[in-house]
Chain A
Amino acid sequence: GDSVTQMEGPVTLSEEAFLTINCTYTATGYPSLFWYVQYPGEGLQLLLKATKADDKGSNKGFEATYRKETTSFHLEKGSVQVSDSAVYFCALLNSNDYKLSFGAGTTVTVRA
């Protein structure tokens, strides 16, 4: 079945540092890939998405590129802020299915 593997957290960074969260997936067909963010006490917010190989999703300074050859969708941000502290989830939506498969989530804490 479909699965998503994220790097283990927690990740602690200083403000303005570079952030990378690794995400790899296993899926049949051609899934769409997503990054969601969850702030304390809230639901999930869609951060960015990519629907086919080599697509780059971007939003709020975050970027991720759909790499079919390495089955990866790593999240990056060049300069993090305290407000980026949250839990980040990588997810895939298979072309034959109607459910999201999520990674375990990575907790990111940014210190001033």
Chain B
Amino acid sequence: KAGVTQTPRYLIKTRGQQVTLSCSPISGHRSVSWYQQTPGQGLQFLFEYFSETQRNKGNFPGRFSGRQFSNSRSEMNVSTLELGDSALYLCASSPGNRDRAYGYTFGSGTRLTVV
């Protein structure tokens, strides 16, 4: 069974540009969550999608957005990039039902560097 696939693995962008990151969840999983990991702030929740609907959102500015497609694949977009957006962006998938015992399976992440 394939795991969570994130593309690209590495990305270098210039301040002011925008970027789109992609995540393909485990087959059959309907929930996709996004997290930002930085040395200073640790792991912070961005948002979670289930069946194409955003169910939960973290405390990030509106420059951070996401969406989920009918095949459960998800994208997140960051517009007007700032140096502080440099981070590892992690995607996690789960079945999406209320079985808390499952937890979440993470992808390897996309390393975004803003210069």
Contact = CB atoms under 8 A, between A and B. Distances in A.
- Do A and B share a complex? yes
B33 interface: yes
B103 A46 contact: yes
A102 B42 contact: yes
Contacts of B35: 100
B107 A105 contact: no
Given A98-B31, A99-B56, A34 B103 contact: yes
Contacts, number: 56
Main secondary structure of the interface of B (DSSP, over half): strand
Interface stretch (A17-25, A37-45, A71-79): A37-45
B1 interface: no
A89 B43 contact: yes
Contacts of A44: 90, 92, 106
A98 B101 contact: no
Contact of A93 (B55, B90, B100, B107): B100
Interface of B: 4, 6, 31, 33, 35, 42-43, 45, 48, 50, 55-56, 58, 90, 92, 100-101, 103-109
The 9 closest A-B pairs by CB, nearest first: A32-B100, A102-B43, A44-B106, A99-B45, A43-B106, A43-B108, A51-B101, A98-B56, A98-B48
